[in-house]
Amino acid sequence: MTLLAAKGFEETTADEIAQVAGVSRRTLFRYFPTKADIVTAWAQQMTDVLRAHINNSLPGTSPRAMLYSALEAVVPYMARTRSEAYAFVYLIERTPALLPVSLRKYAQWEDSLTDALSHHLTNQPDNILAARVAARSGIAAFRTAIDEWIRLKGRPPLVPIIRKVAALQASILEGG
């Protein structure tokens, strides 16, 4: 991911990735048939974090608090540093060839959050639909925060931006 972010997705060759990873090209392709699969694997760990975070929420936690806490929990898993996280996010969100990867990532996040939230929304008549609405709303806010972070060139930390967007979303939807 570091090489892809530094050099550019299209400009980076599979041989360069294999060399940095310390494996042969053949081994690289055994685990990652395409360069996009490397990015997909990076994103999968965050899907797992979202699900685990919701599943480990304390009883009585509001669905909104669970959702935004889970989205914030993803941030430390993006990379070791803020600048590296920004480079990875920028790569995925602004590389046309990676648009399908980005959309698939968000769809997986929505599915994972929907499943996890549905177990907490048992008081809703249609808990799966309620969980899907909550998950999609949360992902929309997260994506908006990512867009704002990119606009600000990754200078401020991402979590306060997520919180600001979540507060704006709540205020707007509640008519405030």
Q: Which of 1-15, 26-40, 147-161 has the highest mean pLDDT?
A: 147-161
d(CA 75, CA 126): 31
Q: Which H, E and C letters describe 31-74, residue by residue?
A: HCCCHHHHHHHHHHHHHHHHHHHHHCCCCCCCHHHHHHHHHHHH
Average of per-residue pLDDT values in the chain: 92
Average pLDDT over residues 150-171: 97
Label residue 115 by pLDDT band (50, 70, 90).
Answer: very high
Q: Which domains, and CATH codes, for the chain?
A: 35-173 (1.10.357.10)
pLDDT digits (tens, 9 = 90+) for 19-66: 999 999 999 989 999 888 888 888 888 899 999 999 999 888 999 999
Judged against a pLDDT cut of 60, whether residue 176 lies above it is answered with no
d(CA 58, CA 26): 45
pTM of the model: 0.89
Report in angstroms the alpha-carbon separations of 104 from 1, 75, 107, 109, 154: 18, 18, 5, 9, 23
Judged against a pLDDT cut of 80, whether residue 175 lies above it is answered with no
Judged against a pLDDT cut of 70, whether residue 154 lies above it is answered with yes
What secondary structure does DSSP assign to 97-139, as a single string?
GGHHHHHHHHHHHHHHHHHHHHTT-TTSTTHHHHHHHHHHHHH
d(CA 7, CA 34): 17
Judged against a pLDDT cut of 60, whether residue 72 lies above it is answered with yes
